[in-house]
Amino acid sequence: MIKVFPSILAADLLHLQQDIEHVLSAGADGLHVDIMDGHFVPNLSFGPEIVRVLRRTFPGVFLDVHLMLASPEKYLNTFVEAGASALTIHHEAENALECLHRIRSLGLPAGLSVKPGTSEQSIIPVLEETDQLLIMTVEPGFGGQKLMPECVDKISNLRKLGYRKPIAVDGGVTLHNAPDVTKAGADILVMGTAVFHAEDRSHAIHQLHTL
């Protein structure tokens, strides 16, 4: 079944608990938490405290933490202790392979993300060290951007290469383009704007679950 992880970057930050309760009751399968350092991406978002309060407030919810950090190795322990359910680092970050090993040794699934400009060929040597992939379909750093269709081919190519673990897609995913993305082989949809700003969140998530 297709999983939907709303990205809290698009939530109403002044009413975050209420907004999250609403998307969870609307059927969300977990939460995507974007951590940005202002270096790896030209934006700042949340720190580890957000993961800590989310874990305290929503003990059973899957927290899919997306580390858009130049030097993620400095923060892996902190996010594990804060309560992340999975940590995804970027192939383009420092010491990516060592980070994948460290995340696993800390007991969490290790995710690897690639920016639009990074080919799927470049991650072939490390696929074995990953538990899931996060294919960026926008330049990371901001929500509300348009999906870059040329990135969707990476998903089908990775499936053709025999990658059988979960592939998530992140950036500009909507009800309109989600069918193409899942047909290509994605099984997790990270959606900020299209869920948090949906007219009817339950209807949107139900539609996505049936893809």
Catalog residues that contact ligand DX5 under the rule CB under 6 A. Answer: 7, 9-10, 32, 34, 66, 138, 140-141, 143-145, 170-173, 190-194
Q: Which of 34, 37, 131, 187 is catalytic?
A: 34
State the Cα–Cα distance between residues 5 and 24, nearest whole angstrom: 10
Q: Which of 19, 29, 37, 170 is catalytic?
A: 170
Q: Are residues 106 and 89 in contact, defined by beta-carbon separation less than 8 angstroms?
A: no
Task: Specify the residue, 34 or 120, whose C-beta has the smaller distance to ligand DX5.
Answer: 34
Task: Specify the residue, 63 or 138, whose C-beta has the smaller distance to ligand DX5.
Answer: 138
Minimal distance, residue 105 CB to ligand DX5, in Å = 25
Known catalytic membership, residue 170:
yes
Q: What does 19 interact with, of Zn ion, ligand DX5, none (CB < 5 to 8 A by kind)?
A: none
Q: Are residues 120 and 154 in contact, defined by beta-carbon separation less than 8 angstroms?
A: yes
Query: Phi and psi of 46, rounded to 5°?
Result: -115, 165
Q: What does 72 interact with, of Zn ion, ligand DX5, none (CB < 5 to 8 A by kind)?
A: none
By beta carbon distance, the residue nearest Zn ion is: 66
Q: What does 191 interact with, of ligand DX5, Zn ion, none (CB < 5 to 8 A by kind)?
A: ligand DX5
Residue for token pair 């704007």: 193
Q: Which pair of tokens denotes residue 21?
A: 């309760």
Minimal distance, residue 180 CB to Zn ion, in Å = 19
Minimal distance, residue 197 CB to ligand DX5, in Å = 8
Minimal distance, residue 173 CB to ligand DX5, in Å = 6
Task: Specify the residue, 145 or 207, whose C-beta has the smaller distance to Zn ion.
Answer: 145
Q: What does 143 interact with, of Zn ion, ligand DX5, none (CB < 5 to 8 A by kind)?
A: ligand DX5
Torsion sign across C-alpha atoms 106, 94, 118, 135: positive
Q: What does 30 interact with, of ligand DX5, Zn ion, none (CB < 5 to 8 A by kind)?
A: none
Known catalytic membership, residue 187:
no
Residues tagged active-site: 34, 170
